[in-house]
Structure 1
Amino acid sequence: MRLLFAGILLGMLMMLPELIQQRNASLRESELVGQLHFTDREGNTSEKPDNQRGTVLVTGSHSPLTEAMVQQAVGKRSDMESGYISIWNWQGLENVTASARGLDSLHHFANSYLVGFQPFETRELWIPLYTLAIRKEYQYDHLQYSGLADIWQTSRQSYYQKRGDCEDHAILLADWLINLGVDARVALGTHKGQGHAWVVAIVNNTEYLLEATSKRRQSGWQAMPLAALAESYDVEFQFNRNYFWAKTSSAPTRNYRGKHWIRKSQFIRG
């Protein structure tokens, strides 16, 4: 029993610096109650949102796809239709990128929602997933946004908004892991036949599937499940801050790299 208690105490002491940073981040947030605030990595705050503007360079095309083109096309749709994620074809090339409606009611490229945000510094890869579990409540978009099917939050907005669905969780988790030097991507597809988003993290040349919406409370947060063993996940697309990938066939796969994936486009912010 004494050894067990000592082990628990040692674990708590090892977590203490991380939890102090998390507590300080929460205190900084409490000072900004009443406005949707934006905090950069240096701790500067403002009410100005992140720049999501950008251009997509499509592999195999000499003509870029701009956000203005996307918003013009989406503008011809009804509010209900524009509330869904869009997968775009461009000059005869299929599935070159995706866009989704944000909190500003405009469609932005999927990559642009990863704005380079992390709430606080950490060296432990499991801390972002643990933070999401205790901080953010899962809620379907149509319950939060007057029946609209799919509204995305940027990684910064996702941290400060108390509720969000799968892609909001995945965007924040992937962006935070990228800041830690991990090759992390948001995966889009289905889970048990239902539309879903999750994170794949490539660490030491090994692929791990991270369920960003996990709300587990038990021990073992440091365990990262192998993507190859994750059942019922059928991925179709992946993206990070810079690139968008699509599968070459409709065959299901648990591998997130290889010849069955094509890098369709590159996102240039600005």
Structure 2
Amino acid sequence: MRGWLFIACLGTLLTLPDLAVKLTQRREAATTGRQLEEALDQRLNINAPGSVQRDRQYGVVRVVGTSRPLPEETIQQIVARRSREQSAYVSVWNWQGIPQVTASARGLDNKHHFANSYLVGFRPFNTKQLWVPLYTLAIRKEYQYDHLQYAGLTDIWQTSRQAFYQKRGDCEDHAILLADWLIELGVDARVVLGTHNGEGHAWVVAIVDNKEYLLEATSKRRLSNWQALPLAALTEGYEPEFQFNRHFFWAKKDTRPTRKYRGSHWVKKSQFIRS
């Protein structure tokens, strides 16, 4: 036991210089974090809330397997016959005998729009660091359930631009902003709809260097390293059902669970064309 204690103490003495280096690195990292937040504040305050423009979400969906497109007017006419409470939910649509061709949700303008249309091509500022959008969400946007923010309505979606300027939002609002920003940076990013630990949820999958990363857009961890983000194949508890980007909508072919977001088990159902 004494010999073991001596070796342990000697090891401690020998590692003291390394410990000092690590402490210095931590202080430098903390300083860098504060500097980054100050820089983000300066960049983000350039865009005053009064300058927010209204993005056009209108468009049609061209469904694979039929030549007849699904127009937005059709879904809005159907939704108009529902109660306000019923129409607050996300709707998944069948068209011309083809199931699950796209989804729509009620927006801040009180109208249903196709899921793809909420990705309006928005980025608050440019950056070469792919982790910055998730970091920015962590420090700028608060999580809040829709029914607490919108007088009891279950599900209201914000566009990517609205999600940036609105202080609060739930999972799909975070995911829409994150995915759209990453797309602007050249990343193949998609909003995923499904469940997390059995509860309805939305998150982002980003494909970088042919690897699929699962990004929890609502996370408030301030990660400043892309390599620290989890690979989708290693992430538990997430069960995807649909995914979409600005142009396409995918549905899973069957009910079997998967951690892969590409492959023959995903079917490209439709293409959104903005008018």
Common fold: TM-score over 0.5: yes
| Aligned positions, number | 257
- How well do the aligned residues superpose, as a CA RMSD in angstroms? 2.0
Deviation at 1:224, TM superposition (A): 1.4
Partner of 1:168: 173
Task: Confirm or deny: 8 A CA contact 1:185 1:240 kept in the other structure.
Answer: yes
Runs of 4+ residues over 3 Å off in structure 1: 8-21, 217-222
- Return the match for 1:89 from 94, 107, 112: 94
**1:127 corresponds to which letter in structure 2?**
V
Partner of 1:132: 137
Q: TM-score, normalised by structure 2?
A: 0.88
Superposition map of 1:113-192 within 5 A? 113-192=118-197
**2:25 corresponds to which letter in structure 1?**
G
Q: Structure 1: how far apart are the matches of 2:84 and 2:250?
A: 28
Q: Structure 1: how far apart are the matches of 2:150 and 2:80?
A: 19
Task: Confirm or deny: 8 A CA contact 2:131 2:225 kept in the other structure.
Answer: no
Q: Secondary structure at the match of 2:194?
A: strand
Q: Secondary structure at the match of 2:162?
A: helix
**2:74 corresponds to which letter in structure 1?**
M
CA deviations on 1:89-127 (whole Å, 9 max, x unpaired) are: 000000000000000000000000000111111111111
Superposition map of 1:226-237 within 5 A? 226-237=231-242
Q: Does 1:238 align with 2:243?
A: yes
Q: Structure 1: how far apart are the matches of 2:260 and 2:205?
A: 10
Q: Secondary structure at the match of 1:130?
A: helix
Q: Does 1:25 align with 2:43?
A: yes
Deviation at 1:209, TM superposition (A): 0.4
Task: Confirm or deny: 8 A CA contact 2:79 2:112 kept in the other structure.
Answer: yes
Q: Structure 2: how far apart are the matches of 1:263 and 1:108?
A: 19
Q: Structure 1: any 5+ residue segments left out of the alignment? A: 39-47
Q: Secondary structure at the match of 1:266?
A: strand
Q: TM-score, normalised by structure 1?
A: 0.89
- Return the match for 1:260 from 257, 265, 269: 265
Superposition map of 1:217-228 within 5 A? 217=222, 222-228=227-233
CA deviations on 1:18-72 (whole Å, 9 max, x unpaired) are: 545522233224x44xx5x41xxxxxxxxx4101011101000100001111111
Task: Confirm or deny: 8 A CA contact 2:142 2:169 kept in the other structure.
Answer: yes
**1:87 corresponds to which letter in structure 2?**
V
Task: Confirm or deny: 8 A CA contact 1:57 1:266 kept in the other structure.
Answer: yes
Structure exhibiting the larger radius of gyration computed from Cα positions? 2
Moved more, 7-16 or 227-236: 7-16
Partner of 1:70: 75
Calculate percent identity across the aligned residue pairs.
63
Q: Structure 2: how far apart are the matches of 1:175 and 1:219?
A: 19
Task: Confirm or deny: 8 A CA contact 2:55 2:120 kept in the other structure.
Answer: yes
CA deviations on 1:144-191 (whole Å, 9 max, x unpaired) are: 111111000000000110100000000000001111111000000000
Q: Secondary structure at the match of 1:50?
A: coil
Q: Structure 2: how far apart are the matches of 1:193 and 1:20?
A: 38
Partner of 2:7: none
Superposition map of 1:102-113 within 5 A? 102-113=107-118
Partner of 2:25: 7
Q: Structure 2: any 5+ residue segments left out of the alignment? A: 1-18
Task: Confirm or deny: 8 A CA contact 2:131 2:224 kept in the other structure.
Answer: no
Structure 1 residues 21, 61: closer, same or farther in 2, change over 3 A?
A: farther
